[in-house]
Amino acid sequence: MDQKSAGLNLTIFFCQQLDPDQDVNRRALEKELGERIRFFPLPCSGRIDPLHLMRALESGADKVYLVTCPEGTCRYREGNLRAQKRIAFTQELIEEIGLERERLELIITSAGNPVTIDEMARGLLAREASVGPSPVRVS
Amino acid sequence: MITAERKPLTEIKEMIAPYRKVLVVGCGSCVAECASGGEKEVGLLASALRMDAKISGKELEVKEMTLDRQCVYEFIDQLTDVIDEYDVVLSLGCGAGVQAVAEVFPKVHIVPALNTTFIGETKEAGLWVENCRACGDCKLGFFAAVCPITRCAKGLLNGPCGGSRTECCEVDPDVPCAWQLIIARLDDMGRLDLLRKVHPPADWSKQQGKGPRKIYRKDQRT
Amino acid sequence: MNIESKLKKVLDRGDFAVTAECGPPKGADPEVVKSKGKVLSSYVDSINVTDNQTAVVRLCSLAACALLKAEGLDPVFQIVTRDRNRIALQSDVLGASALGIRNILCLTGDHQSFGNQPEAKGVFDIDSIQLVQTVRQMRDTSQIMGGETLTEPPHLFIGAVENPFADPFKYRVARLAKKVDAGAEFIQTQCIFNLNRFKKWIGLAKDQGLDNKVYILGGITPLKSARMAEYMAKHVAGMDVPEEIISRMKSVPAKEQRQEGVRIAVETIQALRDMDGVHGIHIMAIEWEEIVPQIVQEANLFPRPQV
């Protein structure tokens, strides 16, 4: 079943360089799904901190995405490399409390195919759900 | 700085298991520098504990606070107004901080979330290495500022030993031989003469003490 | 005390000395020590007993030396600073002398992490050079560390080790000089396979006049196999086994490798005898003490001088 139909809560951290008009482009989905989808633009994906990811899960997200710019195109050079390491670090932390690593996922966009945040998010919602509702929110 | 590492979560959970209201207290000093007990790390641990409690259906209230330093009364005092609201304080201070807080609030159970490890430097981002063993009798001037007690596995004052080959310590190939470094540096400075005489045995009583050591400054006492 | 060090007498006479190592057992049986002593006895001047070598628990050196002494042999008491503090070390020095042991070899010892008790606390209260200095002071001035007087000084011929094959090479002779300054009277070196490097080291030592101040005994270890040669080259810290030696061992069928190892040892001894500045050899045939008689005979060093 796809994530939208499964009713999962998605949180999407993303690099705002990916869609300069993201604040407009995301409104439609926000209106449609309400609390079930949350967007957090970052000046660079490298700005992500493990704490943001933990808090997202704590607030009830079932799946948290971090969307970065294509390899080698980071405006700040290394942002997406650091993002990768921080996701890995946070995955270790959540495994300690029994949450699946897959709840945190890094998406590296491909260079030749720029999409809006809306298209990106819809694509993610259409993906097959690999995890169920988080035990944090159903307890 | 004093370095520390977070204990495994299972150990921490076991220590706070009997309690319902936890205050997680960090320290903005050494442990923040080595990314184990600062405000961020407090946030990460608190978040993990709250989620874990929800998952296992346990009742647990977890609040966060970070002091500039946990080993100084003026900062510890900031806990005075709030500490009574909690059953236990989970401290992310080094051993000194945990104990200092307990001195001020002996009736509250203060438990450590970190294992205090060593005195060291931030060698590179994400890498901290030990460089001082607080021997109380600093000899760095004789050894080109490379501490043989800390950085030589055998603590030789007249090294190197017969096992040093290609600049590594025989005990751990990732550890540079401190004595090769001492000799190279002194040679470079033209001060190999400092190694000519036999360096006498250390006075270990300055490190071991008679129980816990102390410093007493009459001019600073009230 | 009338007992004298046989090793010292041989060296003082100008004879080429021969010592060999005896490893105590991992057990409490004194007969093992005695039988090793018997195997070596007429082929060496003195027998070294190792002190928990490689940080592996064995019958202690002091007791083993006492057992050998009782058999009429001249033991060299090896003592490491890894396991005991200055109180225990000075105490053992007195004990050794009281038991009639007349030679002591001061070492730091391999780090505890190498042995079978890696969780042990490594003491390292003092290092080997400080120990040499201490024994010398105890013997010559009847004083322990700190200056208190002894009722009877220990009577010991004092030795230390040096490794000409460890780095940094250029500091190795300065270290030898330091040991001599501290009071070392004889030196046993790490086992020699790289004669060129050893020759260089001896040359540098001679330049500083050290061969006149201290007796130098070159270390010899007979290779049992090509695999042993490779292992030592790769995994033993501070060891220098040149490629030619390894290939030479490999070029011989497995059954004959032991004898090839003996041949290499004998050739090395002969080279050392011809080298100015070398006063003897120290044979470390680890767990192969039985081979020492053959080596000593083939190197024309048998019989040993009667002193």
pLDDT 10s digits, C146-192:
999 999 999 999 999 999 988 788 788 889 999 999 999 999 999 99
Q: Indicate if the pLDDT at residue A48 is higher than 60.
A: yes
Q: What is the CATH number of the domain that holds A81?
A: 3.40.50
- How high is the pLDDT of residue C112? 94
Residue C202, min C-alpha distance to chain B (Å): 17
* Within a domain: B126: no
Calculate how close chain B gets to A69, using CA atoms only, in Å: 24
Mean pLDDT computed over every residue of chain A: 91
Please give the average per-residue pLDDT across B30-41, as a whole number.
97
* B153 in the same domain as B193: yes
Same domain, B96 and B141: no
Question: Between chains, do A58 and B47 touch, taking CB under 8 Å as contact?
Answer: yes
| Number of domains within chain A | 1
Q: Which two tokens stand for residue B104?
A: 């001020």
Q: Does residue B114 share a domain with residue B6?
A: yes
pLDDT in tens, A15-34: 998 899 999 999 999 999 99
| DSSP secondary structure string for all residues of B146-170 | --HHHHSTT--SS---TT-BTTB-S
Whether the predicted pLDDT of B35 surpasses 70: yes
B40 chain-A contacts, CB cut-off 8 A: 49-51
Would you say residue A134 lies in a domain?
no
Contacts of B50 in chain A (CB under 8 A): 58
| Domain identity same for B72 and B140 | no
Residue A91 is assigned to a structural domain of this protein: yes
Q: Does the pLDDT at position A45 exceed 90?
A: no
pLDDT category at C2 given cuts 50, 70, 90 is: low
**pLDDT per residue over C199-247, tens digit each?**
999 999 999 999 999 999 999 999 999 999 999 998 887 889 999 999 9
Q: Which residues of B touch A58 (CB under 8 A)?
A: 47, 50-51
Put simply, whether B170 touches C (Cβ < 8 Å) is yes
- What's the mean pLDDT in B140-161? 96
pLDDT of residue A139: 52
Give chains near B: 3+ CB pairs under 8 A: A, C
Q: Do A135 and B54 touch (CB under 8 A)?
A: yes
Residue C187 has phi, psi (to 5 degrees) of -125, 135
pLDDT at B167: 84
Chains that touch A (3 or more CB pairs under 8 A): B
Beta strands in chain C (DSSP E): 17-22, 46-49, 75-80, 103-107, 157-162, 186-191, 215-220, 280-283
> Among partner residues B163, B195, B198, which is closest to C237 by beta-carbon distance?
B163
Average pLDDT over residues C18-47: 96
Q: Hey, are the CB atoms on B170 and C174 less than 8 Å from each other?
A: no
Among B residues 195-214, those touching chain C with beta carbons less than 8 Å apart: 195-202, 204
Contact C69, C3 (CB under 8 A): no
Residue A85 domain flag: yes
Nearest to B24 by CA among B3, B1, B49, B2: B49
For residue B125, is it within any domain? no
Residues on chain B touching A139 (C-beta within 8 angstroms): 54-57
Q: For A94-116, what is the mean pLDDT? A: 91
pLDDT digits (tens, 9 = 90+) for C257-293: 999 999 999 999 999 999 999 999 999 998 899 999 9
B198·C178 Cβ contact <8 A: yes
Q: Tell me the shortest Cα–Cα distance from A95 to chain B, in angstroms.
A: 10
Same domain, B96 and B17: yes
pLDDT of residue A106: 93
Sequence letter at residue B65: M
Q: Within this chain, do residues B114 and B42 fall inside the same structural domain, yes or no?
A: yes
What is the rounded average pLDDT of the residues B52-79?
96
Same domain flag for B155 and B75: no
Mean pLDDT of C122-144: 97
Q: How many domains are contained in chain B?
A: 2
Residue B182 falls within a domain, yes or no? yes
Interface of B with C in 178-197 (CB under 8 A): 180, 183-184, 192, 195-197
- CB of B127 within 8 Å of a chain A CB? The answer is no
List all residues of chain B from 117 to 156 with a beta carbon under 8 Å from chain C. Answer: 153-156
Torsion of CA B14, B15, B21, B25, to 10 degrees: -120
Is A1 inside any structural domain? no
pLDDT grade, residue B93 (50/70/90)? Answer: very high
Is residue C1's pLDDT more than 60?
no
- pLDDT value for C3: 80
Whether A5 maps to a domain, the answer reads: no
Beta strands in chain A (DSSP E): 10-15, 37-42, 63-68, 104-108
Residues B67 and B102 in one domain: yes
Q: Which two tokens stand for residue B208?
A: 């071991």
pTM: 0.87
Task: Confirm whether B76 is domain-assigned.
Answer: yes
Q: Using an 8 Å CB-CB cutoff, list chain A residues near B9.
A: 96-97
Q: Are residues B8 and B87 in the same domain?
A: yes
Chain B residues with CB under 8 Å of A94 CB are 48, 51
* Site from A97, A100, A104 to mutate, B interface, most B CB atoms within 10 angstroms: A97
Nearest residue in chain A measured CA to CA from B58: A139
**Which chain C residues contact residue B196 at CB under 8 A?**
174, 178
> Is the separation of the CB atoms in A50 and A86 below 8 Å?
yes
Domain-embedded: residue A87: yes
Q: Identify whether B213 is part of a domain.
A: no
Contact between chains at B47 and A136 (C-beta distance less than 8 A):
no
The secondary structure element, H or E, covering residue C176 is helix C169-182
Q: Which of A82-91, B4-13, C11-20 has the lowest mean pLDDT?
A: A82-91
Backbone angles phi, psi at A83, to 5 degrees: -55, -40
Same domain, B113 and B30: yes
B194 and B104 in one domain? Answer: no
On chain B, the residues whose CB falls within 8 A of the CB of C237 are 162-165, 170
The pLDDT of B82-111, averaged and rounded, is 97
Mean per-residue pLDDT, A81-102: 94
Touch C-B: 3+ C-beta pairs under 8 A: yes
Q: Which of residues 67-96 of A touch B (CB under 8 A)?
A: 93-94, 96
Find, in chain A, the residue whose alpha carbon is nearest to that of B10. A96
Question: Is residue B176 a part of any domain in this protein?
Answer: yes
Query: Percent of chain C having pLDDT more than 90?
Result: 92
Distance, CA of C205 to CA of C173 (rounded, Å): 6
Domain extent, residue A53, equals 10-128
Range 49-68 of A in CB contact (< 8 A) with B: 49-51, 54-55, 57-58
Structural domain for B25, as ranges: 2-118
Task: State the Cα–Cα distance between residues B215 and B131, nearest whole angstrom.
Answer: 22
Task: Examine the domain organization and report whether B30 and B106 are in the same domain.
Answer: yes
Owner of token pair 């007969």: C31
Q: Is residue B152 part of a domain?
A: yes
Give the mean pLDDT of B171-195: 94
Tell me C269's DSSP state.
Answer: H
**Range with lowest mean pLDDT among A42-51, B142-151, B162-171, C11-20:** B162-171
Query: Do A56 and A48 touch, CB atoms closer than 8 A?
Result: no
Give the Cα separation of C205 and C276 in Å (integer). Answer: 11
pLDDT at B165: 73
Q: How confident is the model at residue B162 (pLDDT cuts 50, 70, 90)?
A: confident
B163–C110 C-beta distance less than 8 A: yes
pLDDT at C64: 98
Residues of chain B found within 8 Å of residue A54, distances taken between Cβ atoms:
43-44, 47-48, 51
Yes or no, beta carbons of B164 and C166 under 8 Å apart? yes
The alpha carbon of residue C154 is apart from the nearest alpha carbon of chain B, in Å, by 20
